[in-house]
Structure 1
Amino acid sequence: MHALSNEPPVDIRLTEAETIALAYHRAARGDAWAALVQAVEDALGDLAEAERQTAQQRRLISRGYIRDGAIFSDHGR
């Protein structure tokens, strides 16, 4: 009869990946396939954006447009 015990519930700590997977699963209302597809789509979108930014940085470097903060403008300089 653990349910009636005065002991606190076990604290389960999820990994970052598990937390993200759970969020996708909940957003997909329990549809594991839809959650997986959405997670892959989001990851591919993030990868495409990172590749676009890298290509843009390389173009700036090759043209000599490097100035303070030109590459890392989001670092609050």
Structure 2
Amino acid sequence: MDIRLTEAEAIALHYYRAAHRDGWTALVQAIADALADLDAADQHAIEQARLVSHGYARARLNGWRWWP
């Protein structure tokens, strides 16, 4: 019988094995990694918004308009 894991199950199994079969440690590490990824994504979005905002303001100062 061939058992196929979902992506979530495969990730959980990886964390479980990496934590030497300690379920609590695996859970905490998975959550910590997820929170770190969310924080990085938030920082990236903030930086992108800042760059777009500065580009728009710079273009307006140079007399360029993107609308008709």
User: Scaled by the length of structure 2, what TM-score is found?
Assistant: 0.80
State the 1:25 CA deviation: 0.1
- Percent identity, aligned pairs only? 61
Unaligned stretches of 5+ residues in structure 2 = 57-68
Higher helix share: 2
Scaled by the length of structure 1, what TM-score is found?
0.71
Alignment of 1:7-18 (within 5 A): 10-18=1-9
Runs (4 or more) in structure 1 with deviation over 4 Å come to none
Q: What does 1:1-77 align with in structure 2 at a 5 Å threshold?
A: 10-64=1-55
Q: Cα RMSD (Å) of the superposition?
A: 0.9
Pick 1 or 2: higher relative contact order, CA cutoff 8 A, min separation 6. 2
Query: Deviation digits for residues 24-76 of structure 1, max 9, x if unmatched?
Result: 000000000000000000000000000000000000000017xxxxxxxxxxx
Aligned residues: 56
